[in-house]
A and B are shown apart, each in its own frame.
Chain A
Amino acid sequence: GAVVSQHPSRVICKSGTSVKIECRSLDFQATTMFWYRQFPKQSLMLMATSNEGSKATYEQGVEKDKFLINHASLTLSTLTVTSAHPEDSSFYICSAVILRDSDNEQFFGPGTRLTVL
Protein backbone atom coordinates (compact mmCIF):
# COMPACT_ATOMS: atom_id res chain seq x y z
CA GLY A 1 0.00 0.00 0.00
CA ALA A 2 0.88 3.66 -0.16
CA VAL A 3 3.26 5.11 2.41
CA VAL A 4 2.72 8.14 4.57
CA SER A 5 5.53 9.35 6.80
CA GLN A 6 5.61 11.74 9.69
CA HIS A 7 8.51 13.66 11.17
CA PRO A 8 9.48 13.74 13.91
CA SER A 9 8.21 10.52 15.43
CA ARG A 10 8.42 12.03 18.87
CA VAL A 11 9.24 15.45 20.22
CA ILE A 12 9.61 16.99 23.65
CA CYS A 13 9.39 20.72 24.02
CA LYS A 14 9.07 23.37 26.67
CA SER A 15 5.82 25.11 27.35
CA GLY A 16 5.40 28.21 25.21
CA THR A 17 7.42 27.00 22.26
CA SER A 18 6.12 26.02 18.84
CA VAL A 19 6.48 22.62 17.27
CA LYS A 20 6.16 21.69 13.61
CA ILE A 21 5.11 18.21 12.50
CA GLU A 22 5.49 17.12 8.90
CA CYS A 23 3.31 14.67 7.03
CA ARG A 24 4.50 13.36 3.68
CA SER A 25 2.98 11.07 1.10
CA LEU A 26 6.02 9.22 -0.19
CA ASP A 27 4.83 7.53 -3.35
CA PHE A 28 1.69 9.35 -4.33
CA GLN A 29 0.24 12.82 -4.52
CA ALA A 30 -2.40 13.79 -2.02
CA THR A 31 -4.60 16.81 -2.54
CA THR A 32 -6.25 16.10 0.79
CA MET A 33 -4.64 15.23 4.07
CA PHE A 34 -6.16 14.97 7.51
CA TRP A 35 -4.81 15.65 10.96
CA TYR A 36 -5.99 13.71 14.00
CA ARG A 37 -5.18 13.86 17.68
CA GLN A 38 -5.32 10.92 20.03
CA PHE A 39 -5.07 11.02 23.80
CA PRO A 40 -4.06 7.90 25.75
CA LYS A 41 -6.66 5.14 25.73
CA GLN A 42 -8.95 7.26 23.57
CA SER A 43 -10.03 7.19 19.96
CA LEU A 44 -8.72 9.38 17.16
CA MET A 45 -10.27 12.81 16.96
CA LEU A 46 -10.27 14.61 13.63
CA MET A 47 -8.75 18.07 13.98
CA ALA A 48 -8.71 19.44 10.47
CA THR A 49 -8.76 18.76 6.77
CA SER A 50 -5.74 20.00 4.87
CA ASN A 51 -6.25 20.85 1.20
CA GLU A 52 -3.35 21.55 -1.11
CA GLY A 53 -3.26 25.16 -2.14
CA SER A 54 -6.07 26.33 0.11
CA LYS A 55 -6.86 26.99 3.73
CA ALA A 56 -7.42 24.09 6.05
CA THR A 57 -10.88 23.29 7.36
CA TYR A 58 -10.96 22.90 11.12
CA GLU A 59 -13.36 20.81 13.16
CA GLN A 60 -15.50 22.47 15.76
CA GLY A 61 -13.58 23.24 18.91
CA VAL A 62 -10.14 23.17 17.28
CA GLU A 63 -8.36 26.51 17.43
CA LYS A 64 -7.03 27.36 13.98
CA ASP A 65 -4.62 29.96 15.36
CA LYS A 66 -3.09 27.42 17.67
CA PHE A 67 -2.86 24.54 15.24
CA LEU A 68 -1.52 26.01 12.01
CA ILE A 69 -1.80 23.80 8.98
CA ASN A 70 0.02 24.35 5.72
CA HIS A 71 -0.38 22.13 2.66
CA ALA A 72 2.03 23.77 0.26
CA SER A 73 2.60 20.81 -2.05
CA LEU A 74 0.85 17.63 -3.12
CA THR A 75 3.11 15.54 -0.92
CA LEU A 76 3.55 17.61 2.21
CA SER A 77 1.32 18.99 4.92
CA THR A 78 2.61 20.51 8.13
CA LEU A 79 0.94 21.01 11.49
CA THR A 80 2.44 23.62 13.77
CA VAL A 81 1.40 23.64 17.39
CA THR A 82 1.97 27.21 18.48
CA SER A 83 2.70 28.23 22.04
CA ALA A 84 2.41 24.66 23.17
CA HIS A 85 1.15 23.83 26.65
CA PRO A 86 1.18 20.57 28.60
CA GLU A 87 -2.45 19.91 27.66
CA ASP A 88 -1.35 19.80 24.00
CA SER A 89 0.67 16.70 24.78
CA SER A 90 -0.84 14.01 22.60
CA PHE A 91 -0.32 11.63 19.72
CA TYR A 92 -0.79 13.44 16.41
CA ILE A 93 -1.59 11.37 13.35
CA CYS A 94 -1.94 12.47 9.76
CA SER A 95 -3.50 10.68 6.84
CA ALA A 96 -3.46 11.17 3.10
CA VAL A 97 -6.09 10.28 0.55
CA ILE A 98 -5.53 8.58 -2.77
CA LEU A 99 -8.23 9.56 -5.22
CA ARG A 100 -9.41 6.86 -7.60
CA ASP A 101 -12.19 6.66 -10.14
CA SER A 102 -14.04 3.98 -8.17
CA ASP A 103 -13.23 4.91 -4.62
CA ASN A 104 -10.81 6.73 -2.41
CA GLU A 105 -8.48 5.22 0.12
CA GLN A 106 -7.00 6.84 3.16
CA PHE A 107 -3.52 5.93 4.45
CA PHE A 108 -2.31 6.90 7.89
CA GLY A 109 1.10 8.02 9.02
CA PRO A 110 2.88 6.42 11.97
CA GLY A 111 2.05 9.31 14.28
CA THR A 112 4.04 11.88 16.25
CA ARG A 113 4.20 11.79 20.04
CA LEU A 114 4.31 15.33 21.40
CA THR A 115 5.22 15.92 25.02
CA VAL A 116 5.10 19.47 26.34
CA LEU A 117 6.90 20.04 29.60
Chain B
Amino acid sequence: LAKTTQPISMDSYEGQEVNITCSHNNIATNDYITWYQQFPSQGPRFIIQGYKTKVTNEVASLFIPADRKSSTLSLPRVSLSDTAVYYCLVGEAGFQKLVFGTGTRLLVSP
Protein backbone atom coordinates (compact mmCIF):
# COMPACT_ATOMS: atom_id res chain seq x y z
CA LEU B 1 0.00 0.00 0.00
CA ALA B 2 1.41 3.35 -1.07
CA LYS B 3 2.40 5.72 1.70
CA THR B 4 0.82 9.15 1.71
CA THR B 5 2.03 12.49 3.01
CA GLN B 6 -0.29 15.32 3.98
CA PRO B 7 0.06 18.59 5.88
CA ILE B 8 -0.57 18.05 9.56
CA SER B 9 -2.95 20.95 9.87
CA MET B 10 -4.62 23.76 7.94
CA ASP B 11 -6.62 26.81 8.96
CA SER B 12 -9.35 28.51 6.99
CA TYR B 13 -12.33 30.81 7.35
CA GLU B 14 -15.95 30.27 6.58
CA GLY B 15 -16.84 30.69 2.92
CA GLN B 16 -13.32 30.08 1.64
CA GLU B 17 -12.22 27.28 -0.66
CA VAL B 18 -9.85 24.82 0.96
CA ASN B 19 -7.40 22.69 -0.96
CA ILE B 20 -5.62 19.84 0.80
CA THR B 21 -2.81 18.20 -1.10
CA CYS B 22 -1.61 14.65 -0.59
CA SER B 23 1.62 13.20 -1.93
CA HIS B 24 1.78 9.55 -2.95
CA ASN B 25 4.96 9.13 -4.95
CA ASN B 26 4.83 5.34 -4.97
CA ILE B 27 1.30 5.00 -6.26
CA ALA B 28 0.81 1.87 -8.36
CA THR B 29 -0.98 1.55 -11.67
CA ASN B 30 -4.02 -0.12 -10.13
CA ASP B 31 -4.28 2.25 -7.18
CA TYR B 32 -7.14 4.65 -6.61
CA ILE B 33 -7.09 7.69 -4.33
CA THR B 34 -9.72 7.96 -1.63
CA TRP B 35 -10.41 10.69 0.89
CA TYR B 36 -12.17 10.26 4.23
CA GLN B 37 -13.41 12.80 6.76
CA GLN B 38 -13.43 12.18 10.49
CA PHE B 39 -15.07 14.22 13.21
CA PRO B 40 -13.99 13.80 16.84
CA SER B 41 -15.22 10.59 18.43
CA GLN B 42 -16.77 9.36 15.18
CA GLY B 43 -15.80 6.85 12.54
CA PRO B 44 -14.37 8.08 9.23
CA ARG B 45 -16.80 9.02 6.48
CA PHE B 46 -16.13 8.54 2.76
CA ILE B 47 -15.81 11.79 0.83
CA ILE B 48 -14.59 11.04 -2.66
CA GLN B 49 -12.55 8.63 -4.74
CA GLY B 50 -10.74 9.02 -8.05
CA TYR B 51 -8.18 7.52 -10.39
CA LYS B 52 -7.10 10.38 -12.64
CA THR B 53 -7.93 13.93 -13.76
CA LYS B 54 -10.90 15.33 -11.88
CA VAL B 55 -13.78 13.90 -9.91
CA THR B 56 -16.57 15.98 -8.45
CA ASN B 57 -19.48 15.14 -6.21
CA GLU B 58 -21.90 17.13 -4.10
CA VAL B 59 -19.40 17.85 -1.34
CA ALA B 60 -15.93 18.01 -2.89
CA SER B 61 -13.70 17.81 -5.92
CA LEU B 62 -10.61 15.70 -6.36
CA PHE B 63 -7.85 16.80 -8.70
CA ILE B 64 -5.26 14.27 -9.83
CA PRO B 65 -2.40 15.30 -12.15
CA ALA B 66 -1.23 13.14 -15.01
CA ASP B 67 1.63 11.54 -13.06
CA ARG B 68 -0.78 10.70 -10.20
CA LYS B 69 1.96 11.24 -7.63
CA SER B 70 -0.22 13.68 -5.76
CA SER B 71 -3.84 14.63 -5.41
CA THR B 72 -5.75 17.63 -4.12
CA LEU B 73 -9.02 17.54 -2.26
CA SER B 74 -10.96 20.75 -2.82
CA LEU B 75 -13.71 21.81 -0.44
CA PRO B 76 -15.70 24.75 -1.81
CA ARG B 77 -16.96 27.42 0.57
CA VAL B 78 -16.19 25.67 3.83
CA SER B 79 -18.33 26.13 6.90
CA LEU B 80 -17.61 25.64 10.58
CA SER B 81 -18.98 22.11 10.33
CA ASP B 82 -16.17 21.18 7.95
CA THR B 83 -13.72 21.32 10.85
CA ALA B 84 -12.43 17.76 10.92
CA VAL B 85 -9.50 15.52 10.08
CA TYR B 86 -9.16 14.59 6.42
CA TYR B 87 -7.36 11.41 5.42
CA CYS B 88 -5.92 10.57 2.01
CA LEU B 89 -5.57 6.87 1.24
CA VAL B 90 -4.22 5.04 -1.77
CA GLY B 91 -5.01 1.50 -2.82
CA GLU B 92 -6.70 -0.66 -5.42
CA ALA B 93 -10.38 0.11 -6.08
CA GLY B 94 -11.23 -3.24 -4.67
CA PHE B 95 -8.89 -2.72 -1.78
CA GLN B 96 -10.19 -3.58 1.59
CA LYS B 97 -7.25 -3.14 3.88
CA LEU B 98 -6.90 0.57 4.58
CA VAL B 99 -3.76 2.12 5.98
CA PHE B 100 -4.43 5.56 7.38
CA GLY B 101 -1.73 8.21 7.36
CA THR B 102 -1.49 11.14 9.71
CA GLY B 103 -4.36 13.04 8.12
CA THR B 104 -4.83 16.80 7.90
CA ARG B 105 -6.57 18.58 10.74
CA LEU B 106 -8.65 21.37 9.20
CA LEU B 107 -9.87 24.16 11.43
CA VAL B 108 -12.50 26.49 10.01
CA SER B 109 -12.99 29.74 11.91
CA PRO B 110 -15.79 32.32 11.70
Interface residues of A (CB under 8 A from B): 1, 4, 32, 34, 36, 43-46, 49, 91, 93, 95, 97, 102-111, 113
Contacts and interface: CB of A to CB of B under 8 A. Distances in A.
Interface in B22-39: 38
B87 A43 contact: yes
B43 A104 contact: no
Given A43-B87, A44-B100, A104 B41 contact: no
B46 A105 contact: yes
Contacts of A113: 41
Nearest to A93: B43
Secondary structure class of chain A's binding surface, majority of residues: strand
B93 A103 contact: yes
Nearest to A104: B94
B103 A43 contact: yes
Interface of B: 38, 41-46, 87, 93-103
5 contacts: A49-B96, A108-B43, A111-B41, A111-B43, A113-B41
Contact of A43 (B41, B42, B102): B102
Contacts of A105: 46
Nearest to A36: B100
Given A102-B93, A105-B46, A91 B41 contact: yes
Contacts of A102: 93
A105 to B, nearest CB: 7
A93 B99 CA distance: 14
A94 to B, nearest CB: 8
Contact of A34 (B41, B42, B96, B101): B96
B43 A43 contact: no
Contact of A103 (B87, B94, B98, B101): B94
Contacts of A106: 46, 96, 98
* Those 6 A-B pairs whose CB atoms lie nearest each other, nearest first: A108-B43, A103-B93, A44-B100, A43-B100, A93-B43, A104-B94
B100 A49 contact: no
